[in-house]
Structure 1
Amino acid sequence: MEYELFQLLGISLGLGLLVGLQRQYDQSELAGIRTFPLITLFGTITGLLAREFGGWVIAAGFLSVAALTVAGNVLKSKTPPFNVGLTTEASVLLLYAVGAYLVLGNTTVAVAVGATAAVLLQLKEPLHRIVSRIGEKDLKAIMQFVVISLVILPVLPNETYGPYDVLNPHNIWLMVVLIVGIGLLGYFAYKVFGKKAGTILGGILGGLISSTATTVTYARRTKNEATNTTLAAIVIFIASAVSVFRVITEVAVVAPATLATVGPPLAAVFLLMLLLGTVAFFFKKKGHDHVPEQQNPAQLKTALVFGLIYAAVVLATAFAKDQFGEEGLYIVAVISGLTDVDAITLSTARLMNTGALEMSNGWRVILVAALSNLVFKGAMVGVLGSRAAFGKVAVLFGVVLAGGLLVLWLWPSDLQLFSNLFPSVA
């Protein structure tokens, strides 16, 4: 018991020192390297007392800390200039609560909250720089994502409806949030690195936001501008490789227990694309590429379109499985992959996660969709781009298609890698 008590006090002291060190470094006049450890220890002591005397002790302690903070600010105001920021004051109250929560709550959570507070305080300048670079369009993207994820999602019913009883509004919109979130991550990475991101980063950002949109943009540039066709082909190829990595990530999020079986064959195709992209990059001519303006992926219209596509794929998957068995899913994969590989990936991952689809068939369905998507993007380059760009993309995609077909044909159905990290569903 004494060991656990001293352990709690030691953690409390450490968190207070961590935040206090940062505040002292930032030259806070209210509280620093000595005050914050005292506050967290005070919170821990009131938490221990609350076990014996009730929660009013914590409330009284909180009011005392708040009163000391107010008194400190009153004294500061008599010595101009007076900093009206509330960061240190908020940190004081939070660290008191963390100290008490160490006793009455979860230690891991308390440590995480305290450490996060210290990191946020230290990131003041970088965060301010990011905010200063956010325009009205970027703020709109953030607000739209908040609406999509925190307003719409919670109110949707978590029940199944429709034919085959497979349409769950909450699950459908949850997949929308996942895809929009990935796209938004790429969008803000583009904002941070700017238009002069270069070939590799341009392809990565394009794959995160939309590999199809990236393909269309760069294909058109090879026809309308004096663009290096090799450069454009590499960006398109990198974006497509990132889209395959996205597929693996989506499976890991939606059906992590299947990753030991599903991940390796998809990773084999991704590694082949990574190798090809690396070779092509080192053989390209010198030149600097500008990443084209990226569209906001969090638009409500975009989210609704993906939600409808995903619902249609879920319904088509259930129909095909009912009418033709698991073999019918390959037809759905080919058709769905032409427009959006994310929808069939998420639908298939959910089927595998519930045991409604064998994992050995599931990864093949996903891979067929990914290969179908490559064919579609290659065709777009042929229609929208120059002949030279199409020839280079066709060679790169052709090698990947051949490799993907070999994986479909030769990969052992029962092979599992890293199963100790990703235990499969029994």
Structure 2
Amino acid sequence: MLQIQVLKEQTDRVLAGLAKRNFLTAEADVRAILDLDQRRRAIQTQHDAAQAEANELARRIGGLLKSGDRAAADDLKTHTTALKAQIKTQADELTATEQQQTQLLYKLPNVPHASVPAGRSAQDNEVVREHGTKPTLPVGSLPHWDLIKQYDIIDFELGIKITGAGFPVYKGQGARLQRALINFFLDEARDAGYTEVQPPILVNEASGYGTGNLPDKEGQMYYDAADNLYLIPTAEVPITNLYRDEIIAADKLPVRNTGYTPCFRREAGSWGADVRGLNRLHQFDKVEIVQITQPENSYAAHEVMVSYVESLLQKLELPYRVLRLCGGDMGFTSALTYDLEVWSAAQGRWLEVSSVSNFETFQANRLKCRYRAEGGKMQLLHTLNGSALALPRIVAALLENNQSPEGIRLPQALHSYCGFETIS
């Protein structure tokens, strides 16, 4: 959530940034928020003055009663009663104005970093770098949705029988590959200085609002109405919310956490060739990395996180590229996002496997996640997160890029984790 002070003091920068996102109602929304803030301040001033007057009257009434002047005290009590009614009305009006202002702030996306390119869609994203050689596949090579049937390692039909489309069943070497990748990613993250946590996969409404998934992604999250809980779309939500309403000691920064969870996304409205097989699922496994740090250190941390995810792809021997997302393709909460995509040889296209984002103070302002800076001043922290990594498209690329007449050869880094070198 953007800070009111930023909206007031940097209005032109905010509007220019939101224009880069193609956020059409930016000017009207910002003006409405600032108008409400002015009204809130006026009501607060009136409320405080009335409360101060009521306190003074109470003091005077006490003095009059002590002196025996009950008539004068009763006159002041009549005035106090009217003043208390006024104070209550002002308090109610103040609450309503604050709620209206907060709801408008919840709808306002983050302001993009200056380096974010303008653009409306994925076609306008900027390729930062590309690594590796795209493999040349043998004649008769298959896409992963045919390979998984050939080797009987993932069963979509069984998933449909048990739950529905988008909930596959992993079997045999497919299940072992899943477990191997999760353990590999967690071990690598731990070696890179991240502390492993195992968070809940159901979160409350406050947690959803804290990371900006609510109200923005409400329609994409699975919801349990009986208990008012949401299945997580990513481990970012519970891990970041560990620090909601916390003041983190400066000597404990940066916070670096990693966690594995299943993730759940309704993916409403998704269809077409790009969602076939493992390309888009309703339930999938992912290892996440989260950092919380001082504002002056966050962009250096962001670059380090991107380099770390690149190191995983290099160890998996997958060709990849790094993209800087344009304003129109960025997530609601992000100030700057890098996507990492791997080359899918059989499909002949790039598949996104990670997003690494810096949210600056946007999440921290919702979370009230702060630290005490030099001089004792309380300041908001910066939050960052990245997929390290999401499994489905990694598995798709591993299967497609490494297929051969002898089977699917796995990269060296996974041999000890899988207990086998080839899927056959």
TM range (shorter): under 0.3
The structure with the largest strand share of the pair is: 2
Q: TM-score, normalised by structure 2?
A: 0.22
